[in-house]
Amino acid sequence: MGGLVEGKVVLVTGAASGIGRAAALAFAREGARVVASDLDEAGGAAAAAAIAAAGGEAVFVPADLAEEPAVEALVRRAIERFGRLDCALNNAGITGAVGNLESLELAGFERTLRNNLTSVFLCMKHELRTMRAQGSGAIVNTASGAGVIGTPGLAPYCASKHAVLGLTKTAALENARSGVRVNAVLPGAVDTPMLRRFMGIGSEVERLIRAGQPGGRLGEPEEIAEAAVWLCSDRASFVSGASLLVDGAAVSR
């Protein structure tokens, strides 16, 4: 039997590290050809090289996903290289500005939305154009548990992830008859370089994050990657507009 996404072409953003890298490797392992993208050229190229070393096929395309010409060129490069685009994991993002709402600077708020929301909008816009023309496709957006609950000290991040879910649900409805499915995966606290940097702000931050894990551990990037691969696969053929929490029941506590 082939893999879950055997023969498909997938675009993964934020592929240089963390969830994005794990997802790029997982998609390749399940039979997909991978277009990996990130601003981190060294990390993105290393992810593509790891796929090739394992016998898969991948190309790395650096891009600033908050710039429309760059996103348009990224999707075009995928088509030029592989002839089509079947799946996408719009995963790139940042923690962004941290602090109580009244203390935040507008520039920090806007930077967070640019990286976490504008990038997803632009990726979806150009992915959907391609997939609708094909009559098929699956998009997964990486939101967060912070997309369904409030998160003190992370107002811009929280707002951006709530908004990603709004984009996801709207796109799912708009494409319900087009053959394109759109879903979101909502990671909890996952052991990634981004979370490690955030926990490095102070011991109390790390203590609170770890105390909020009902299972007593952080998630692993590979656990989020598996959910994304399944959502993009034909096994999830009637799943669209969903917000899949992968957080060890953290939001349920």
CA dist., res. 51 & res. 242, Å (int)? 29
Q: The tokens of 141 are what?
A: 């957006």
Q: The tokens of 27 are what?
A: 């998609």
CA dist., res. 125 & res. 142, Å (int)? 16
**Residue closest to 23 by CA, chosen among 2, 41, 5, 1:** 5
CA dist., res. 220 & res. 56, Å (int)? 22
CA dist., res. 22 & res. 191, Å (int)? 12
> Strands 180-187 and 137-142: what pairing?
parallel
Check if the beta carbon of residue 95 is closer than 8 Å to that of residue 81. no
Catalytic residues: 157
**C-alpha pair distances (Å), 162 with each of 66, 169, 232:** 18, 11, 21
* Sign of the dihedral through C-alpha 159, 161, 162, 167: positive
CA dist., res. 250 & res. 253, Å (int)? 6
